[in-house]
Amino acid sequence: IALFLILFIAFDVEREVLTKENIVEPMRDIRRALLEADVSLPVVRRFIQAVSDQAVGTGVIRGVRPDQQLVKIVRDELVKLMGGEVSELLFSNTKPTVILLAGLQGVGKTTVSAKLALYLKKLGKSCMLIAGDVYRPAAIDQLVILGEQVGVPVYAAGTDIKPAEIARQGLAEARKKNVDLVIMDTAGRLQARLIDKAMMDELKEVKKVLNPTEVLLVVDAMTGQEAAALVTTFNVEIGITGAILTKLDGDSRGGAALSVKEVSGKPIKLVGRGERMEDLEPFYPDRMAGRILGMGDVLSFVEKAQEVMQQEDAEELQKKIMSAKFDFNDFLKQTRTVAQMGSMSRVIGMIPGMAKVTPAQIREAEKSLQLMESMIEVMTPEEREKPELLAESPERRKRVAKESGKTEQQVSQLVAQLFQMRVRMKNLMGVMEGGSLPTLSN
Ligand code: GDP
Ligand code: MG
């Protein structure tokens, strides 16, 4: 019986569809996952609504539970929402390309400036950094040190000068040096005091002077619920072209990533995942979606099932089952499909209502599958296609037993099981006429 169940997942015959009813509970879980990942509430609401509308009516892949299927849909939507693909940095046609960094204090702007310079240097671009945080002398020193570390020149003009003026001088210097890119670090404000008008005005001035190709908002991945408001403010006030998410090496599931794109329409381009200068990489929406949902296992399972269960295969199989033509070749194919999907215990764990199967039962099932395979392997192609031949001929069964080193009784059992399976599968498909079990002639 364990074998039946294992096989049935491979062609979960009642083709399920996601309905308003069967998504209620999984949607609640997904909502919780998003909130735990610190996606802001309005964003969660809009997202859940949109995905629910879209999910209803979608078919469920064979061998997959509706809730697992739903998670996959949600993940795909999250990926789409975050831009789908990696968003590359933009370069201007005329040298130098200017990148302006903005953001609250402590989010990692200065670190990112130097990281980005190193990143671009590795792409073969020459860079220059401009130290624009005039409020903290230490910030200038910090950038100078980091610049040295990554081997990129830093333009610093002290603290008694307006950022816009530094920008002007720095840009002139960059033109003189004929560098490909200029990256300007700016001052942030304490989160607690929020974003003040003076800071925004200053940034606006800097932006006017630099006419940057990229205005990247640096966002701490732990920003949480405030991310949406933060991004909106910066985008409305100065206009951003994208964002960099920092401190992704921390515990945060990074829900801020979702808010960025949702409220500004601008993509996250890069992520920082550590304090080292090398810890900057492109932003991959698919990885981020998995992280936000925190349901990596389910996702990879559904994808695997999808891969293995080629739709055509499944449909052909269905036809065979309907016409009671399911033979030993199909049998072998299905057991191998199960094997391809991963260890049996894992596969079983995913089948609804099968959580109570014990490891001993699984070992038993695996053994019986192997036993069956060894008998099928010695059958002639004709016998595999027409199991009736074996049902009708004790000689043939004797030969299979001998060649596979099993008993005649075991072979008889296997043949009987195949016919039982035909009936059970037919019944499961809702074809209630069923079929009678052939008795073995002796
Ligand atoms: P700024 O005030 O925005 O310029 O922030 P800083 O660049 O000075 O960074 C503030 C702190 O965050 C520093 O201690 C950095 O080392 C740290 N930091 C920046 N980026 C990352 C990151 O991706 N991961 C971790 N773990 N720490 C980071
Ligand atoms: Mg700084």
pLDDT tens profile 364-383: 777 777 888 899 999 999 99
Of the listed ranges 30-39, 140-149, 183-192, the least confidently predicted one is 183-192
Beta-strand relationship, 280-282 and 268-272:
antiparallel
Protein residue with its CA nearest to atom 6 in ligand 1: 108
In 385-418, which positions are buried (b, 16+ CB within 10 angstroms) versus exposed (e)?
Answer: eebebbbeeeebbebbbeebebeeebbbbbbbbb
The average pLDDT across 346-371 equals 63
Which pLDDT tens digit goes with each residue over 276-310? 999 999 999 988 888 888 765 566 666 666 665 55
Atom number, ligand 1, closest to the C-alpha of residue 246: 23
In SS3 terms, the chain reads as CHHHHHHHHHCCCCCCECCCCCCHHHHHHHHHHHHHCCCCHHHHHHHHHHHHHHHCCCECCCCCCHHHHHHHHHHHHHHHHCCCCCCCCCCCCCCCEEEEEECCCCCCHHHHHHHHHHHHHHCCCCEEEEEECCCCHHHHHHHHHHHHHHCCCEECCCCCCCHHHHHHHHHHHHHHHCCCEEEEEECCCCHHHCCCHHHHHHHHHHHHHHCCCEEEEEEEHHHHHHHHHHHHHHHHHCCCCEEEEECCCCCCCCCHHHHHHHHHCCCEEEEECCCCCCCEEECCHHHHHHHHHCCHHHHHHHHHHHHHCCHHHHHHHHHHHHCCCCCHHHHHHHHHHHHHCCCHHHHHHCCCCCCCCCHHHHHHHHHHHHHHHHHHHCCCHHHHHCHHHHHHCHHHHHHHHHHHCCCHHHHHHHHHHHHHHHHHHHHHCCCCCCCCCCCCCC
- Residue 367 alpha carbon to ligand 2 centre in Å: 62
Q: What is the best residue among 219, 222, 275 to mutate for testing ligand 1's pocket, by most ligand atoms within 8 Å of CB? A: 275
Ligand 1 centroid to residue 326 C-alpha, Å:
62
In order of 112, 138, 286, the CA distances from 183 in angstroms are 10, 18, 28
Mind listing the pLDDT tens digit for each residue in 77-119? 999 888 888 999 999 999 999 999 999 989 999 999 999 999 9
Q: CA-to-CA distance for 167 and 185, rounded, in angstroms?
A: 10
- What integer pLDDT is reported at residue 129 of this predicted model? 98
- State the distance from the centre of ligand 2 to the C-alpha of 252, rounded, in angstroms: 22
Output the pTM of the full model: 0.68
User: Is the pLDDT confidence value at 314 over 80?
Assistant: no
Among 162-166, 332-336, 344-348, name the one with the lowest average pLDDT: 344-348
Query: Is the distance from CB of 376 to CB of 332 less than 8 angstroms?
Result: yes
Nearest alpha carbon, ligand 1 atom 2: 106
CA of 103 relative to ligand 1 center, distance in Å: 12
Q: Residue 289: which of 86, 64, 80, 88 has the closest Cα?
A: 80
Report CA torsion sign: 9, 14, 20, 22: negative
Percent of the chain beyond pLDDT 70? 77
- For residue 227, the Cα-to-chain-centroid distance in whole angstroms is 22
Ligand 1: residue of 104, 111, 149, 193 to mutate (most ligand atoms within 8 A of CB) is 111
- Point out the ligand nearest to the CA of residue 244: 1
Which position has the higher pLDDT, 431 or 212?
212
Say how many Å lie between the CA of residue 62 and the centre of ligand 2: 53
Higher local confidence (pLDDT), 61 or 105: 105
**Which residues sit with their C-beta closer than 6 Å to ligand 1?**
103, 105-111, 188, 246-247, 249, 272-275, 279
> Residues 115-124: what's their mean pLDDT?
96
pLDDT of residue 401: 95
Environment of ion ligand 2 (residues, CB < 5 A): 109-110, 139
**Quick one: pLDDT at residue 195?**
66
Average pLDDT over all residues of the chain = 82
Question: Is 59 or 245 the better-scoring residue by pLDDT?
Answer: 245
Question: What was the pLDDT predicted at 220?
Answer: 93
> Which residue minimizes the CA distance to atom 28 of ligand 1?
275
Instruction: Determine the pLDDT at residue 65.
Output: 76
- Nearest-atom index, ligand 1, CA of 133: 4
Which pLDDT does position 406 carry in this prediction? 93
Which residues contact residue 304 at a Cβ distance below 8 angstroms, ignoring those fewer than 6 apart? 341, 342
Q: What's the pLDDT at 373?
A: 87
Higher pLDDT, 81 or 442: 81
Distance 136 CA to ligand 2 centre (A): 8
pLDDT tens track for 252-267 = 888 888 888 888 999 9
What separation in Å is there between the alpha carbon of 111 and the centre of ligand 1?
6
Is the model more confident about 436 or about 385?
Answer: 385
pLDDT score at 352: 46
CA of 218 to the centre of ligand 2 (A): 11
> Which of 132-136, 349-353, 416-420 shows the lowest per-residue confidence on average (mean pLDDT)?
349-353
- CB contact at 8 A, 372 and 381: no
Task: Give the pLDDT confidence of 9-60 residue by residue, as tens digits.
Answer: 333 334 578 888 888 888 998 898 888 888 888 889 999 998 998 888 887 7
**CA–CA distances in Å: residue 298 to residues 52, 73, 351:** 19, 12, 12
pLDDT (0 to 100) of residue 440: 44
For 197-211, how does the pLDDT look when each residue is reduced to its tens digit (9 = 90+)? 888 899 999 999 999
Q: State the pLDDT confidence band at 342, using cuts at 50, 70 and 90.
A: low
Predicted confidence at residue 278, as pLDDT, reads 92
Is ipTM over 0.90? yes
Upstream peptide bond of 387 is cis (omega within 30 degrees of 0): no
Let me know: does 183 contact 116? Beta carbons within 8 Å.
Answer: yes
CA 12, CA 425: separation in Å to the nearest integer? 9
Beta bridge partners of 280: 272
